Amino acid sequence: MNPSAPRSHDTIRAVLWQGDHLHLLDQRLLPREEAYVDCRTSDEVAQAIRDLVVRGAPAIGIAAAWGVVLAARQDRGGLDAALARLRAARPTAVNLMWALDRMQRAIARDAGADALAGEAQAIQDEDLAANRRMGELGASLIAPGSGVLTHCNTGSLATAGYGTALGVIRAGVSAERIGQVFAGETRPWLQGARLTVWELLRDAIPATLVADSAAAHLMSTGQVQWVVVGADRIAANGDTANKIGTYQLAIAARHHGVKFMVVAPSSTVDMATASGDDIEIELRSPDELFGYAGQRTVVEGARAWNPVFDVTPAALIDAIVTERGVVEHPDAARMAAVFGAA
């Protein structure tokens, strides 16, 4: 069986290389419409990343790698500038920089067009394999019959397929370790409400939507034993940047004795960044807060502050699950034992 092929509970692919262009499931339109955006130049890929046509740390890295393939086919002389534009598309998810660094090393080896495409395909295939491995590792930490709460979208839509935190949830549901999945709606862009609930129902995994502001109350009812989230960048001491709202989930989880798991491939680990204080947090347009479904909901003239990631301190994390293994109660020494020094 083709290892990249979708399986049951895992049927969605959002980033598809079509031989001469990149076919991206447009995540701005889900779940209302399943439409695709075709990128034929690296600048179109950079624009798609900026506009959240494609989003989620690993998926951004994979799309950017294909963007380099397109750039090399367009004009090898313009590669450095194209790489710089891809690198600047979004600041927080280190998978973007990691994938571009890897493509740049292939370019430095004088890789031809086919070899560059091979490198991008390897990045995509390795991500899917890592997700399946993390699914097994993470699910094994969860006691049978548990309830879990997740945040944002970390599934097939955000990766090469299967997902990170949603991969653990897929594996945990298949193994009957997880009995209930709660998804926080993830304001303001609604990755949880629009994307995670769609993805889980599409793959026949029952999911219950909760308002972000219901999370602490949900924990107080005893219905969840684990919060399971992804990451955009994990610093050398285990501090973890993820979608805005993750930090307050970790605080509430600790208060209620609920365990907190971060699931991310090693491409999300940034040993060159000492702590969460050094991670750049993306600020997006206040317009994301001013309206709902195209309708303005806030009075004209209002101001808004819209950071789209936050940092959860390592001390609030019970386990970081990567394809290289699980780091329990992460700190700098435990991270270095698995990932080496920077």
Residues near ligand MRU (CB under 6 A): 55-58, 93, 152, 154, 158-159, 164, 191, 230-232, 242-243, 308
State which residue, 55 or 132, has the beta carbon closest to ligand MRU.
55
Residue 131 in marked binding region: no
Report d(CA 261, CA 154) in Å as an integer: 13
Q: Taking phi first (over 0 means left), then psi (-120 to 50 degrees means alpha), and beta for anything else, what does residue 162 get?
A: left
Q: Are 311 and 282 in contact (CB under 8 A)?
A: no
Residue 124 in marked binding region: no
Smallest distance from ligand MRU to CB 265, Å: 8
Q: Please, what is the Cα angle at 235 between 232 and 240, to 5 degrees?
A: 50
What is the DSSP secondary structure assignment for residue 146, as one 8-state letter?
E
Locate tokens 């653990």: which residue?
Answer: 168
Smallest distance from ligand MRU to CB 17, Å: 19
DSSP H helices, 75-190, are 79-87, 94-108, 113-139, 165-174
State which residue, 176 or 287, has the beta carbon closest to ligand MRU.
287
State which residue, 11 or 74, has the beta carbon closest to ligand MRU.
11
Smallest distance from ligand MRU to CB 4, Å: 17
Cis peptide preceding 330, ω within 30 of 0: no
Which residues on adjacent β-strands are paired with residue 260?
Answer: 227
State which residue, 42 or 154, has the beta carbon closest to ligand MRU.
154
The first and second tokens of residue 116, run together, are 């560059």
Report d(CA 240, CA 151) in Å as an integer: 14
Smallest distance from ligand MRU to CB 149, Å: 13
Closest C-alpha among 44, 96, 43 to residue 65:
96
Residue 55 in marked binding region: yes
Whether 80 sits among the annotated catalytic residues: the reply is no
Residue 64 in marked binding region: no
State which residue, 186 or 237, has the beta carbon closest to ligand MRU.
186
Residue 73 in marked binding region: no
Closest C-alpha among 187, 189, 183, 186 to residue 227:
183
Residue 90 in marked binding region: yes
Smallest distance from ligand MRU to CB 262, Å: 9
Nearest residue to ligand MRU, scored by beta-carbon proximity: 230
Among 43, 127, 232, 270, the active-site one is: 232
Closest C-alpha among 332, 289, 334 to residue 307:
289
Known binding-site positions: 55-57, 90, 191, 242-243
Q: Which positions are catalytic?
A: 232
Known binding-site positions for substrate: 55-57, 90, 191, 242-243
